C-alpha cells in the first residue's frame, strides 16, 4: 500500500519550517545585536562601565572613562560636567573648554542652568574668557537669574560695563526688589565712572534698606569719589557705629 501525504500534514510541515526559520532569524538578530551594540553605542557602554566603577569606589578610573565617553559623543549633561571638572582639575584647560563648547554646540536647546554650571566650571578653572563666550552663546530669554548675574560679572571684569548694566536691568525688570542685582548695577556704574548716575541709585538703595551694609559702604565710596567728603565721612562713621 502506498504512502499518501495529506494536505493537512503538508501544511503542518510548512508551518514548522517557517517557525524554525523565524527562530533562527531571531537568534541571529540577537547575536548580531550583542556584537554591534558595544560598537554602535560605545559612549553609552563607557558611561555604564564608569557608573559601575564609581559604585566600587574606583573614581579615578571612572572619571577617565567618562572623559572618553564624552569625547566619543556622549552628551549627557552630568557626564559632560563631570568630564570637564576632571580635566580642569588635571590642568587640561584647553581640553575642558573644547569639550564644553562641543557639548553645547551639539545641543539644539540648552537646558536651564546647564550653561551656567558649565561657565562656572570654566571660570573657577581659570578660563573666564571661555566662560564669557559660552554664556554669550545662550539665548537671552533662556538665561536664568544666576546665569545673568555671572554673565554681568564676567562682562564688567572685562570692562564691558554697558553690557553688564543691561543684564542687571533685565533682572530688575523681572524682579525690581532684587537687591543683589541693584547693588551690582550701581557698583558697575561707579566702575564705569558714571558717578552722576550711580549716586542717586546708591542713595535709594540705602533709603530702602538702611541695614544693608554693602549698600552703605558703596554709597560712602561713591560720595567720596564724587567729592562729597563730609557725607562720605558721615556714612563711614555710621558703618563703624560712631554715628546714629
Q: What is the pLDDT of residues 190-212, one digit of tens each?
A: 999 999 999 999 999 999 998 89
Domain range for 89: 40-139
Residue 86: CB partners within 8 Å, gap ≥ 6? 63, 66, 67
Average pLDDT over residues 69-80: 72
* 139 neighbors 106 (Cβ within 8 angstroms): no
* Widest CA span in the chain: 131
| Domain annotation covers residue 154 | no
CATH number at residue 66: 1.25.40.10
DSSP the chain: ------HHHHHHHHHHHHHHHHHHHHHHHHHHHHHHHHHHTHHHHHHHHHHHHHHTT-HHHHHHHHHHHHHTT---HHHHHHHHHHHHHTT-HHHHHHHHHHHHHT-SSPPTTHHHHHHHHHHHTT-HHHHHHHHHTS-GGG--HHHHHHHHHHHHHTT-HHHHHHHHHHHHHH-TT-HHHHHHHHHHHHHHT-HHHHHHHHHHHHHH-TT-HHHHHHHHHHHHHTT-HHHHHHHHHHHHTS--
Average pLDDT over residues 17-21: 58
State the pTM of this model: 0.68
Pick the range with the lowest mean pLDDT from 5-14, 145-154, 222-231. Answer: 5-14
Distance CA 227, CA 30 (A): 82
Residue 207: CB partners within 8 Å, gap ≥ 6? none
Task: Using the structure block, give the residue that is written with the C-alpha cell 533709603.
Answer: 207
| Domain annotation covers residue 95 | yes
| Domain annotation covers residue 215 | no
pLDDT exceeds 90 at position 57: no
- Count of the separate structural domains present in the chain: 1
| Domain annotation covers residue 129 | yes
| Domain annotation covers residue 101 | yes
116: exposed, middle or buried (Cβ count in 10 Å: 0-12, 13-18, 19+): buried
* 39: its cell numbers: 560598537
Task: Using the structure block, give the residue that is written with the C-alpha cell 540577537.
Answer: 30
- Give CA separation, 39 vs 52, 77, 163, in Å: 19, 22, 47
| Domain annotation covers residue 73 | yes
| Domain annotation covers residue 4 | no
| Average pLDDT of every residue of the chain | 79
| Domain annotation covers residue 239 | no
* 130 neighbors 97 (Cβ within 8 angstroms): yes
Each residue of 132-175: pLDDT tens digit? 988 888 778 888 899 999 999 999 999 999 999 999 999 999 99
What is the predicted pLDDT for the residue at 153?
96
Amino acid at each position: 500500500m502506498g504512502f499518501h501525504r495529506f494536505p493537512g500534514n503538508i501544511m503542518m510541515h510548512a508551518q514548522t519550517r517557517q517557525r524554525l526559520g523565524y527562530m533562527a532569524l531571531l537568534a541571529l538578530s540577537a547575536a548580531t545585536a550583542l556584537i554591534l551594540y558595544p560598537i554602535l553605542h560605545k559612549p553609552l557602554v563607557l558611561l555604564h562601565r564608569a557608573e559601575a566603577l564609581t559604585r566600587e569606589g574606583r573614581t579615578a578610573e571612572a572619571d577617565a572613562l567618562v572623559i572618553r565617553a564624552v569625547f566619543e559623543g556622549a552628551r549627557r549633561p552630568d557626564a559632560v560636567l563631570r568630564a570637564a571638572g576632571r580635566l580642569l582639575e588635571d590642568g587640561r584647560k584647553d581640553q575642558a573648554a573644547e569639550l564644553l563648547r562641543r557639548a553645547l554646540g551639539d545641543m539644539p536647546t540648552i537646558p536651564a542652568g546647564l550653561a551656567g554650571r558649565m561657565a562656572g566650571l570654566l571660570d573657577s578653572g581659570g578660563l573666564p574668557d571661555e566662560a564669557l563666550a559660552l554664556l554669550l552663546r545662550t539665548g537671552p530669554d533662556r538665561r536664568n537669574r544666576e546665569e545673568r548675574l555671572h554673565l554681568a560679572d564676567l562682562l564688567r571684569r572685562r570692562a564691558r560695563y554697558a553690557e553688564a548694566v543691561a543684564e542687571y536691568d533685565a533682572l530688575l525688570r523681572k524682579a525690581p526688589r532684587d537687591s543683589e542685582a541693584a547693588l551690582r548695577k550701581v557698583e558697575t556704574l561707579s566702575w564705569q565712572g558714571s558717578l552722576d548716575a550711580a549716586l542717586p541709585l546708591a542713595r535709594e538703595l540705602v533709603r530702602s534698606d538702611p541695614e544693608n551694609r554693602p549698600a552703605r559702604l558703596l554709597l560712602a565710596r561713591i560720595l567720596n569719589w564724587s567729592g562729597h567728603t563730609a557725607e562720605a565721612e558721615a556714612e563711614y562713621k555710621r558703618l563703624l557705629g560712631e554715628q546714629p
